[in-house]
Structure 1
Amino acid sequence: MPSNQTVYIVDDDAAVRDALGLLLSLHGYRTAFFSDAASFLRSWSAERRGCLLLDIRMPGMDGLDLQKKLLELGSRLPVLIITGHGDVNSAREAFRSHAVDFLEKPLQEAQLVDAIEEAFARQERQPQGSRASEEYLRRHASLTPREREVMELVVAGRHNREVAEDLGISVRTVEVHKARVMEKLGVGSIADLVRQYLQNPVA
């Protein structure tokens, strides 16, 4: 890891900060800790290198609002969202503000390390293009029209029952289509599905 890159952790839970600090130190990462959004903003500068590991639920300004504020400030620090209360709407909001990943607690060590490495790599290759990747286009093309309809409603934050009512099919059929979409696109969670959908616009 380049010596000028740091994982900045913003979480109001001291136990979480301590655990993440220990885990990441074992992988050789340099870390810096903040207990709330305000303290991070006070110390923020455009020259910072690394990535931001950001909890959603915090007193005062929450993580998603901090993410938006940093965008307004012109921050190019890649953001990883962590939460114990994830939902589709939160994931969609995070990815629309260019989050690298959306990780649900309890965090999986390998997944966290992979996300941090992707965040570091993303900063190095900025600015990024907005075209969909060839791999995503290939996978997307394998979806049936009905699977695409289900995917778009799921990404929009609709629950299975709502999707079923909109499309005039059973909830069980929605579940089957959703499972096939996730398998074809190679994603393991709804948050991953939202991320791929938003980061790979298909004309």
Structure 2
Amino acid sequence: MKKSKLPVYVVDDDAAVTNSLKSVLEYAGHQVFCFASANEFLRSQPEPSGVLILDLKLPDIHGLEVQQRLVKKGVYLPIIIYSGTADIPDTVSALKDGAYTVLQKPVAARQLIEVITEAAEHAEKVRQDIVSRKKAAEQVAKLSPRELSIALLTAEGLSATQIAEKLFISKRTAETHKSNIFKKLDIGSTALLIRMLMLSEHLN
């Protein structure tokens, strides 16, 4: 099966830079979209599976503000800051706001291509993690308060007898609750229960 092209968005007002990147990245098999201004890019509809190569000093909006606007719009693209003027404060701010990395111009084509691939792979893992956490939270929300309490005690390693004693219920009731918990969560082991509770942020 032929691998689909990765969309790469280049935002830089230097035509020499954008033309060079477009040529190199298209040769590497990517689908490249170039923008000479931040507003032009922000008006577009970038694919969430793409990667953004962003300059800091743009004619209309600073690159760091572009990052912040994307977050506010709910657009989570892996961002590679590609600038010849990025100082330490800019680098810290960019990384703090979620940029994948900061590269100083110029960068060898091979290195840039490798970083783009790494950024896309990292972003995909993050997206999968978000989906897993959302799914786990939805599953755990099906539990009653009593079932959640028993699920947490089970995750701590307590037996049905110990849970019964702690909650002042019968062992049989504790076992029934545990059985219902596993059915509601569609899992078959305590290890999976622990993972689901961790993903749903009920367990550290």
Same fold (TM over 0.5): yes
Q: Which residue does 1:141 correspond to in 2?
A: none
Distance 2:78 2:99 in 1: 7
Cα offsets for 1:123-168 (capped at 9, x unmatched): 2112459xxxxxxxxxxxxxxxxxxxxxxxxxxxxxxxxxxxxxxx
Q: How many residues align?
A: 128
Aligned residue number for residue 36 of structure 1: 37
Q: Distance in 2 between matches of 1:43 and 1:24?
A: 20
- Describe the superposition over 1:67-102 as per-residue Cα deviations: whole angstroms up to 9, x where unpaired: 111011111211000101121101000000111110
CA distance in 2, matches of 1:2, 1:66: 30
Mapping of residues 19-30 of structure 1, within 5 Å: 19-30=20-31
1-structure distance, mates of 2:3, 2:64: 28
1:41 CA displacement: 0.8
Letter in 2 for 1:56: L
Q: Distance in 1 between matches of 2:3 and 2:44?
A: 21
Identical amino acids, percent of aligned pairs = 36
Report the counterpart of residue 125 of structure 1 in structure 2. 125
Partner of 2:19: 18
Structure 1 segments of 4+ aligned residues over 2 angstroms from their partners = none
* Amino acid corresponding to residue 61 of structure 2 in structure 1: M
For structure 2, the residue ranges without an aligned partner over 5 or more in a row are 131-204
What is the CA RMSD across the aligned residues, in angstroms?
1.8
Tell me by how many angstroms 1:106 deviates: 1.1
Structure 1 residue runs of 5 or longer lacking an equivalent are 130-203
Superimposed CA distance per residue, residues 172-192 of structure 1 (whole angstroms, 9 cap, x where no aligned partner):
xxxxxxxxxxxxxxxxxxxxx
TM superposition score normalised by structure 2 = 0.59
Do the aligned partners of 2:5 and 2:30 also contact (CA within 8 Å) in 1? no
How far apart, in 2, do the equivalents of 1:123 and 1:2 lie? 17
CA contact (8 A) 2:5 2:29 kept: no
Which amino acid is 1:110 matched to? R
Q: Which TM-score applies when normalising by structure 1?
A: 0.59
What is the identity, as a one-letter code, of the residue corresponding to 2:63? G
**Per the alignment, do residues 79 and 36 of structure 1 end up closer, same or farther by CA in structure 2, a change over 3 Å counting?**
same
Residues 79 and 99 in structure 2, CA contact (< 8 A), matched pair in contact too: yes
Check the 8 A contact 1:83/1:104 in 2, yes or no: yes
> 1:50 touches 1:123 (CA, 8 Å); kept in 2?
no
- In the TM superposition, 1:84-99 aligns within 5 A as 84-99=84-99
Partner of 1:76: 76
Larger Rg: 2
Q: What residue is the counterpart of 1:57 in the other structure? A: 57
**Post-superposition shift, 1:44?**
2.6
What secondary structure is seen at the aligned counterpart in 1 of 2:103?
strand
Q: What aligned pairs does 1:1-203 form with structure 2 within 5 A after superposition?
A: 2-3=3-4, 5-44=6-45, 47-127=47-127
Q: Secondary structure at the match of 2:126?
A: coil
Distance 1:2 1:40, change over 3 A: farther
Shift of 1:3: 1.8
